[in-house]
Structure 1
């Protein structure tokens, strides 16, 4: 099956929303680099599907399993896919929701790079660090 890059990414968000993490990992290239900016416990570069799984696990651990990611709009041009998203979670009795932009690069039916950009980096760092 030859899905477009946008279809591949869309399926990844759908699988994540359904809690099907193995399906999300299937769309990732073995050499993927997953970039998370900022100064929180989540920040850094994660490598390979095993690194991304570590990131997902950390997100769920820190949020008590409440992390949600909604793909509000998906834009694509060639191998680049941009997702305008809303991310929300709860932590220590506090709710948080923020707009993020996710930039994917897809090659050969696999995601090879992911870059995350927060609407308010300082607020996101504070939420995940407290």
Structure 2
């Protein structure tokens, strides 16, 4: 069985994100991407456009002093959706983030056009980022 092409797009995304390679990341994010972060914390909201979305990613690293570390478990993809199952660890201000989450993505023509962050423990996620 061959992986769906959107699986490869996400693997490129993960590699670029982990390396902090913003040029490579820009290749896989549509300029008009919309990124949704749920919850009631300082990062929650809808981010419109690549610049706003990348600024969010930068804040995650800044607020955690570079300790934000996502680990990929699996990627599932078809023509409509790509779902990445991940685990993240991070620390900030004496708090520790250690939870599973999913990224639900729309990918069109090799570029992410929309994404949702879905956590397994929204209360812990909110507490960490608040």
Q: Which runs of 5+ in 2 are unaligned?
A: none
Separation (CA, whole Å) in 1 of partners of 2:61 and 2:124? 19
Task: Compute the displacement of 1:75 (Å).
Answer: 0.5
2:18 alignment partner in structure 1: 17
1:119 alignment partner in structure 2: 120
Separation (CA, whole Å) in 2 of partners of 1:25 and 1:43? 22
1:50 alignment partner in structure 2: 51
Separation (CA, whole Å) in 1 of partners of 2:61 and 2:25? 15
Separation (CA, whole Å) in 2 of partners of 1:110 and 1:72? 21
TM-score (norm 2): 0.92
Task: Compute the displacement of 1:66 (Å).
Answer: 0.9
1:37 alignment partner in structure 2: 38
Q: Deviations over 1:15-43 (max 9, x none)?
A: 11122132112211111100000011110
2:110 alignment partner in structure 1: 109
Q: Deviations over 1:51-72 (max 9, x none)?
A: 1111011111211111111111
Q: Is the 8 A contact 2:97 2:124 kept in 1?
A: no
1:84 alignment partner in structure 2: 85
Task: Compute the displacement of 1:98 (Å).
Answer: 0.6
